[in-house]
Structure 1
């Protein structure tokens, strides 16, 4: 029977790279994102690599999302062996400017979306002795006023992963989280382009300014994060649970 991985946020960035990487190790990959042409392209790429694929266009902030995703996965494949919760870009807005609606939107998508999906997939993961990975970010322990929601939600994600990991010890489900630093995704590029325009500098100069402020030598690549997550859901990492792996080029300076 084919092993099955679910990846959210699979249409671009870290989610896309993770889906493609897991296609090498799993017989089937379920790709979840809000939709669009890019999700279809990734689905076809997975198939071209020899794995089966199931594309589910779904906004994870919807209360019914988890039921639909797991229901369609079980109907098609009958099992879930890995769940990688990537979806959930949170806007970087100043703590004094962010509205309640914006806070709630971020929480519903990244935190509650991942929470509901993990709970709904738990029995299948328990049956397969599977693995879950949550994606947080360095702002969880290095928050800034201009990205208060990012930090708060990422910290909540890491605490949530710890709680699931405790239950997973009893149920045989491995749960960890990975905290990427500044990864060069299309979203990151768009942010840098805005900075360049606002400061009247070139894109390359904006990149160098960011790297200097972050205290890192270069940006990470989505494929690097995907490689780590492939290890984290593999049999080689089965004794690893409840861990927060910081993969950030040295951005976080604290011990």
Structure 2
């Protein structure tokens, strides 16, 4: 038996909601939205996030799905509308591109990175667009500050991040006429679980403790410390709030001052 549509006034979809910035964003948005749709591949982590969201007072719908598969974004939107009847914000956060040297990365690694982070976000935004038009809603696409600082060691990351900024601006151009606000965000180095796991392997291999590596890495990047997922989440929450409605087509950097170009 199908559930009746829940009567809520505000619904946000968050991809990549099982960990890191996506999880922090979903928890932050639970203070502002009546319902959150949590999308990622790890169902157990999503369910844990959902329990915390419901403790805050919002409703949560868990959809364990791989948005890199072409048909999945449309299914996510269909299930969201079947459950809640509306979409007010879409936060495209899913996607991690491996940092492999330009001359060593395979075609398959390039393809996989682009399918999830770039094309997954593109397909999610296209699928949700009619509902976002109806609600005059907001979209955020997650890029990264490497979009402005491409290097051989992470060429795929930089290329895909730059494409996301361009894609967000193209969506924003259409959104000006159709009432949908679209922005991109470019975080610097953030202390996520993935980064912590990397440091736990890298530090002993380079003769230092994890604590020392946690200090050394930001210093080498010219910043005081790693960012925290909650700090990125606060910016994302602002972008999909009524206070930011006149902001569209913007690419907002939040990186502790790592990128020093004008």
What TM-score results when the alignment is normalised by the length of structure 2?
0.96
Deviations 1:202-242 (A, max 9, x none): 11221222112100001111111101110000110000000
Which one of the candidate residues 11, 17, 21 is aligned to 2:24?
17
**What are the equivalent positions in structure 2 for 1:59-74 lying under 5 Å apart?**
59-74=66-81
The corresponding residue for 1:114 is 121
Deviation for aligned residue 1:62:
0.6
Asked if residue 180 in structure 1 is aligned to residue 187 in structure 2, the reply is: yes
The corresponding residue for 1:101 is 108
Superposition misfits of 4+ residues, deviation over 4 angstroms:
none
Measured in 2, the distance between the counterparts of 1:68 and 1:5 equals 16
Asked if residue 241 in structure 1 is aligned to residue 257 in structure 2, the reply is: no
Contact residue 219 and residue 225 of structure 2 kept, 8 A: no
The corresponding residue for 2:225 is 218
The corresponding residue for 1:227 is 234
Deviation for aligned residue 1:186:
0.4
The corresponding residue for 2:201 is 194
Measured in 2, the distance between the counterparts of 1:88 and 1:66 equals 14
Deviation for aligned residue 1:2:
2.1
**What are the equivalent positions in structure 2 for 1:37-48 lying under 5 Å apart?**
37-48=44-55
Asked if residue 124 in structure 1 is aligned to residue 131 in structure 2, the reply is: yes
Deviation for aligned residue 1:138:
0.9
Query: After alignment, is 205-214 or 88-97 more displaced?
Result: 205-214
Count, aligned residues? 255
Measured in 1, the distance between the counterparts of 2:198 and 2:143 equals 19
Measured in 1, the distance between the counterparts of 2:42 and 2:35 equals 19
Report the aligned-residue RMSD. Answer: 0.8
User: Which runs of 5 or more structure 2 residues have no equivalent in the other structure?
Assistant: 1-7
The corresponding residue for 2:5 is none
The corresponding residue for 1:91 is 98
